[in-house]
Structure 1
C-alpha cells in the first residue's frame, strides 16, 4: 500500500476514532500531501522507505523554505502522529519521526479585549432577531470561554438553566460542564423564543444556535457576524471568536489568579497551555467563576 493511500486511511482514523478538530485534520492532511509529493520525487512511496535520514532531509527542506518554528513543530507533529498510526497497523517497526526534535515555538500572549470593550460590543439591539441570536452567541463565547467549534456544536439540551451550566463537547470528544453568568442567561432567555419562532413546526432540529434557514449555524457565519458587530460597535481591528475566549481567560485570571480553575473552564488538557495567559498558579472552580467573571455577578 502506498504512503498516499495510507495518508487517507490515517485521516479517516483521526476523524473517526480520535475525534480531532476539523482544522487539525485539514492541517495534517495538507502537510502530508505536500510532503509526500516531495518524497515521491525521490522515489519514496512506501512505508518501509520511511527512515530517519529520509525525514531528516525533509526537515532540511522545510528549513530551506523559510518555515518558522511554529510551522516546523506542526509538521513534525503531523509526521509523528502519522508514523505512530503506521506502527499501530504494522507498516513500520518504529517511529523515525520521534527522533527529530521540534524547535520550541515562542508562546505569545494572545491579544484580548478589555472589559469596557466587551461591554461596548455586547450592547446590541433587543428588537432585532439576528442581534438577539448574535448576542447570545457572544455572551457564551466570552461568558463561558467556548471555542467556536464548541459553540456551534451546542444542542438545546446542553443548557441547564436552573444551575446556569452548559454541557460542552470539547477537543477529543471530551465533555466538560461550564458555568455561565447572569448576562448570558438573560441573552439565552431572549434567544430561545426567537429560535422557536424560526423553527416553526420543524421540531426535530436540536441545535441551540440556528440560521434563519432552520439549520445549525455555520462556523463561518459566526465569524462573519462577530466581525460585523465589532465594526458596528466601533471596535478597532478584526474581531474573531477566539479573541473572546482569550478575553475570558485573561479577565478570569486577572480577577482570581486561579490558573487551575481557568484551565478546567477552558478545557485545556495541560496546564502549560493555560500558562500562555499568566505565570500564576492557584486552585478551585465554580465559586471562582461566580465571584470573578465580570458578566456573572448579580445586579445590585
Structure 2
C-alpha cells in the first residue's frame, strides 16, 4: 500500500460514512453537500453532517412549530420557520443533551459542549443557511445574525525540557509502566521510542506519522516525506537523535518483528499491520502517566516541538511553515504567551540612562 493509497483509503472510509449519515438527514440536504463538495474536504463535510444531525434532532425535540416533524418529512421550506432566536436556543441546548442510543432506545448518552463545540456546530448550521439563502430557496439567513460563542482560550499544554527528557526515558526504560505493560514493553520499546522521538523532533501530526511508509525516509538528508492536510506532500527534517531512534527501530523491524512482507508502513502494530492513530494516542497517554500530571496527547507533543522551535528561532513564520499551519495567525494564537514573554524580556534590555 503506497502512502497515497493509505490516504485514499481514509478518504474512502470518510466518504462511505458521510453517505451513511446523510441518510439520517433531510433529503434536501443532499444538494447542500453536493454544492460544497468542490470547496471542502470529505472530512469537513462529514463533520458538518454529524453537526447537522444534532441540529435536526433538536428541531424534532424542541422547536415550537417543527417539533415532532420527522427528519424524512423535513423540507428546505421548513427552514423559513427557523429564527435567529431558535438557533440561539439550539446553542443553549448543546450545553447538555441526551444523544439517543439506537441499539438501546431506553438509554442515551449524556452530551456536553463547551464554547468550542458550540462554535463548530454553529458553523455547520451557518453554512447550510447561507447556501440555501444564496440559492434563494429560503427568504432569510437567520444563522448569520447569531453571534459566535466567545471562546476562552486555554493555556497551551506542553512538556517542559525536563519533562521531555523524562518522557523519552520512560519510553526507553519502561520503568513507569505497570507490570502488565512492562510485559509488552520489551517487544515494542524501539518502535515506541522511534515514534515518540519523531513526533517530538518534527512536530508532525499523529495522522501524518502513521501514514509514513519506509520509502518516505531519506537518511541521506535526515528527512521524511509526509502528506499534510489537503493532500500536499512535504519533507520534514529531523536531527541525529531522531535518526538514531529510527535506525534502531528499522533494524528490529527488519530482523525480528512479525510483519506482512508487502506491508510498506514504517510503523507496525503487534499484528504486523500499519499502526493506527488511536494506538498512538493510547501510547502517549501510557508513557506520560508516570512522568507528568499534565494531560499529554500526540497534539501536546506537537505543541512541545512548536514551543521549542519558536524559543530557538523567534520566527513565527518558520514555526507556521514547519507545523503546516495554513494561516500564521493560528500559530501566533498558540504561541501568544511566548511572544508576550519575549516582548517583556525585550523591554528589560532597553536602558534609557546609562549607569
* TM-score category, normalised to shorter length: 0.7 to 0.9
CA distance change for structure 1 residues 71 and 250 in 2, over 3 Å: closer, same or farther? same
| Runs of at least 5 residues in structure 2 that lack an aligned partner in the other structure | 1-22, 96-112, 175-184, 341-355
CA contact (8 A) 1:113 1:244 kept: yes
Q: CA deviation at 1:56?
A: 4.0
User: 8 Å contact 1:223–1:240 — kept in the other structure?
Assistant: yes
Distance in 1, matches of 2:300 and 2:314, equals 20
SS in 2 for 1:178: strand
Note if 1:160 corresponds to 2:218: yes
Task: Name stretches of at least 5 consecutive residues in structure 1 with no aligned partner.
Answer: 282-300
Distance 1:8 1:209 in 2: 39
The 1:261–1:94 alpha-carbon spacing in structure 2 relative to 1, beyond 3 Å, is: farther
Change (3 A) 1:105 1:210: same
Determine the structure 2 residue equivalent to 1:246: 303
8 Å Cα contact 2:84-2:142 kept in structure 1 = yes
Q: In structure 2, which of residues 253, 260, 274 is the aligned counterpart of residue 195 of structure 1?
A: 253
1:69–1:230: structure 2 CA closer, same or farther, 3 Å change rule?
Answer: closer
SS at match of 2:235: strand
Deviation at 1:80, TM superposition (A): 3.1
Is 2:101 aligned against 1:101? no
Corresponding residue for 2:118?
A: 72
Q: What are the within-5 Å matches in structure 2 for residues 247-262 of structure 1? A: 247-262=304-319
Alignment of 1:9-28 (within 5 A): 18-21=40-43, 27-28=47-48
The more displaced of 239-248 and 272-281 is 272-281
Query: How far apart in 1 are the matches of 2:197 and 2:37?
Result: 30
The separation in 1 between residues aligned to 2:251 and 2:36, in whole angstroms, is: 38
Which protein, 1 or 2, shows the higher relative CO under an 8 Å CA cutoff with sep ≥ 6? 1
Distance 2:258 2:39 in 1: 36
Going from structure 1 to structure 2, the CA distance change for 1:161 and 1:275 (only over 3 Å counts) comes to same
Q: Secondary structure at the match of 1:122?
A: helix
| Separation in structure 1 between the aligned mates of residue 321 and residue 299 of structure 2, nearest angstrom | 17
Aligned equivalents of 1:253, 1:150: Cα separation in 2: 21
Corresponding position of 2:156 = 110
Aligned residues of 1:20 and 1:171 also touching (Cα < 8 A): no
